[in-house]
Amino acid sequence: MTDVNVNAGQDDDEDIFEASSDDFASKFHLKDRLVMIYPTGKTGTRQGENGPYVWMETVTVVLDDGPDGWQPMVMNYDTSTMVPNLVPSVAEEGPQVLTNFQWSAGGVVARLQGKDPKSNNGVPKGLLGRIDAKAMKGKAAAWRPNPPTDEDSALAVQPDIKAVRIKARQVIVDAFKVSEDGDAF
């Protein structure tokens, strides 16, 4: 009788998982990039170092790499250190869809008020803008989407980019419909 190795061809346990990371895309990875932000309707409050702050969950679609092109390292303005860019290049990989992306910057949250699906018959209104951080003397930078230029607006409606945006928005519409249907019972 021949011995059979039942583990032949199987990977070691070390090969079947990936280590968890604290790294996730944030506003720093979006600085100077054109984005379309769709609020999902999920929001809340967290306690910060300087008191409570409001956050809003979104689907944020990154439409370009910014005026200087994609950068492999970006500035983390909270720590004044360079960190790897976690949002891939749009020029190389197409528009990037960031689901469950939470915005807590006051300038973004304020602009998203009333754009959620519940306020708009189940379809969120998108907010188009180029993300900027305005330095504040003695305070943290104020993050906000700058109004789009005519060129930015034209880019956002190009057929291939528009298709990605509409698909991303539709995920929110579908989820909202399911939650509304569930609330009916």
The pLDDT mean for the chain works out to 88
Residue 96 lies in a domain: yes
Q: What are phi and psi of 102, to 5 degrees?
A: -100, 130
What residue numbers bound the domain in which 160 lies? 24-179
How far from the centroid of its chain's Cα atoms is residue 109's Cα? 13
Give Cα separations from 51 to 45, 89, 127 (angstroms): 10, 35, 27
Domain total in the chain: 1
pTM of the model: 0.84
Per-residue pLDDT at 8 exceeds 90: no
Out of 20-34, 74-88, 133-147, 148-162, the most confident range is 148-162
Residue 28 lies in a domain: yes
Q: CA angle, 55 as apex, 166 and 57 as ends, to 5°?
A: 25
Q: Which of 157, 145, 137 is nearest to 31 (CA)?
A: 145
Residue 99 lies in a domain: yes
Going by C-beta distance under 8 Å and a sequence separation of 6 or more, which residues neighbour residue 71? 85
What pLDDT is attached to residue 185?
Answer: 45
Mean pLDDT of 120-140: 88
Residue 55 CA to residue 37 CA, distance in Å, equals 14
Q: Which residues pair with 60 in a beta bridge?
A: 37, 98
Residue 104 lies in a domain: yes
Residue 156 CA to residue 94 CA, distance in Å, equals 13
Residue 126 lies in a domain: yes
Per-residue pLDDT at 184 exceeds 60: no
Query: Alpha helix locations (H) across 70-147?
Result: 90-93, 106-112
Helix (H, G, I), strand (E, B) or coil at 57: strand
Residue 53 lies in a domain: yes
Residue 2 lies in a domain: no
What pLDDT is attached to residue 29?
Answer: 94
Residue 1 lies in a domain: no
How far from the centroid of its chain's Cα atoms is residue 122's Cα? 20
Residue 81 CA to residue 73 CA, distance in Å, equals 10
Residue 14, token pair as written in the block:
């070390």
The percent of residues in the chain predicted with pLDDT above 70, rounded, is 83
